[in-house]
Amino acid sequence: MAMIPDKLDGLIPLTRELVEPASVTCANAFADDETTRYLIPDASKRVNLRFSFEYYLKLSLLGGKGTFLTSPKCEGVAMWFESEHKESFFDHLRSGFPFLPLRVGWDFLMREAQLDLHFSKIRKELAPKHHMYLGILAVDPAYQGQGFASKLVRPMLINLDKQNLPAYLETQNQRNVGMYQHWGFELLKEETMPDTSLELYLMLRKPQTDKNTL
């Protein structure tokens, strides 16, 4: 079973005080992302995007670990999940799910639920039973191109290599595929989300001993 460390070199774990600024970083990073345009077609409503990330960050925080930040300034955020991880109904309630329809709308939640369901199905088909899942990798646009993505991802990959565990992710941005391949991820499958034009790229990184990939 995958084990998420309490600490990763050069990173700080998410705290309750940093949930709000971290949610803003995520919203800024994904403001014009392909997935965001699918989830919220009306650009004028994307101002509420941070509330969705705030919910997921609170949910992660209840698990005790798994989300790491570059610094208290929240230049970047990485959220990891163990493949066996499951949240309880009460975890969702405590994280603020009942308020989400008021903040992001039912249409957003329905589309997101469909996307999550599709991702879960593909993940069961492609990913090994035991793996670490990269759910969110976000760098605020003001800090992009300065190495913050590498700073967020590499410590966990080093940890996973020591545990001999794979990492899995989905990205909807073709521009990110090359970045992940640089870190040793392989593109397993490319497809279009049913009934949409949203492109999906499913990637897996097997445990490695070659440090040149990092």
pLDDT of residue 11: 96
Which range has highest mean pLDDT (41-55, 101-115, 171-185)? 171-185
pLDDT of residue 33: 87
pLDDT of residue 213: 61
- DSSP secondary structure, 127-161, as one string: S-SS-EEEEEEEE-GGGTTSSHHHHHHHHHHHHHH
pLDDT of residue 102: 86
Q: Which helix (H) or strand (E) holds 188?
A: strand 186-192
Q: Distance between CA atoms of 100 and 87, rounded to whole angstroms?
A: 17
> Given a cut of 80, is residue 211 above it in pLDDT?
no
Q: What are the boundaries of each domain within the chain?
A: 12-157
pLDDT of residue 158: 95
Residues with Cβ within 8 Å of 99's Cβ and at least 6 positions away in sequence, in order, are 51
Q: Does domain 12-157 have CATH number 1.20.1300.10?
A: no
Q: Are 59 and 91 in contact (CB under 8 A)?
A: yes
Cα 17 to chain centroid distance, Å, stands at 20
pLDDT band at 72 (very low <50, low <70, confident <90, very high): very high
Q: Are 167 and 57 in contact (CB under 8 A)?
A: no
What share of residues in the chain are helix, strand, coil (percent, to 5)? 50, 20, 30
pTM: 0.91
Bridge partners, residue 168, by sequence:
133, 204
Q: Which residue would you say has higher pLDDT here, 42 or 94?
A: 94
The tens digit of pLDDT for each residue in 128-164 reads 999 999 999 999 999 999 999 999 999 999 999 999 9
